Amino acid sequence: MGTQWIEANGARFRYEHRRRDAGTLVLVHEMGGRLESFDGIVAALGERWSVLRYDQRGAGQSDRIAGSLSLDTPATDLAGILDRLEIPEPVVVVGAALGASVAIRFAAKWPARVAALALLAPSTGLIPGNYAATIEKIELLEKSALEGTPAQASNGAPLPDPASSAATWRMLIGLDLAADLAGLPCPTLVAAGSRDSFRPPAHVAEIAARIPKAQSLVLDTGHVMAIETPALVAATIATFVNGIGFMPGSSGSAGVSASSGLASG
């Protein structure tokens, strides 16, 4: 099937939208990921709900990040994509790692547009003690961008644009989501991985404790859980979404708009 593209918030995004006569789940991938990060869960979730996933700005085949980045930008990107796809009703946003921070900021800015959040190993800032290593990582990425040399993510995958990755890491350093977390108005699932060395369960539990309507759990998985244990993650999300009774309205006619091209990163 043909690749799908959409213009929103001054950028061009690659996306896939599987439409059903049901509510919409939006899947927001991790730093260094792309929409294919959710390949293992999209079919199961798409049996009941509409599913939207996309390459975030600076990732996959979407437009690169120009200059610095604030969390408001990817949150506004999501709002713009929903507007362009004419999805006005509240959605469930599933965010993986840094994608969870995008989901949180989106819910904080547009609470009426969010029915619930599912936060998978949420990355909401640097873990204490990681500052020096992160600065070193950013400097290496910026050097790669200037010299035009290849760069890799922590999992060894090639990064399509080191400058965008560096800008995203700099954004993570300065994140402060205390007010966003405390003010979240919607049901929120917070899932940690028992084998996650990047965001261990104790760290994720601290985030969940700051959310008024949070349900927290620990899954037998690692950090990028939708890739590592897709069946478990799909079942966990489905149980949560079914539990809140999410099946509002119609989000369009049945069918699939799918992308065929793979991103370079």
Contact 189, 246 (CB under 8 A): no
Residue type, 184: L
What mean pLDDT value characterizes the chain? 90
Question: How many whole angstroms separate alpha carbon 204 and alpha carbon 165?
Answer: 23
pLDDT of residue 9 exceeding 90: yes
Q: How confident is the model at residue 35 (pLDDT cuts 50, 70, 90)?
A: very high
Contact 263, 13 (CB under 8 A): no
pLDDT of residue 247: 76
pLDDT of residue 263: 29
Query: What average pLDDT does range 10-33 have in this prediction?
Result: 95
Q: What percent of the chain is predicted at pLDDT more than 70?
A: 91
Q: How confident is the model at residue 78 (pLDDT cuts 50, 70, 90)?
A: very high
Contact 151, 159 (CB under 8 A): yes
pLDDT of residue 71: 97
> Could you read off the pLDDT of 148-194 as tens digits, one per residue?
998 887 767 788 899 999 999 999 998 999 999 999 999 999 999 99
pLDDT of residue 254: 36
Which phi and psi angles does 41 have, rounded to 5°? -120, -15
pLDDT of residue 128 exceeding 90: no
The angle that helices 39-46 and 230-243 make with each other, rounded to 10 degrees, is: 40
pLDDT of residue 157: 74
Of 158, 163, 183, nearest to 262 by C-alpha is: 158
Q: Is the pTM of this model over 0.85?
A: yes
> Could you read off the pLDDT of 203-258 as tens digits, one per residue?
999 999 999 999 999 999 999 999 999 999 999 999 999 999 997 554 433 333 33
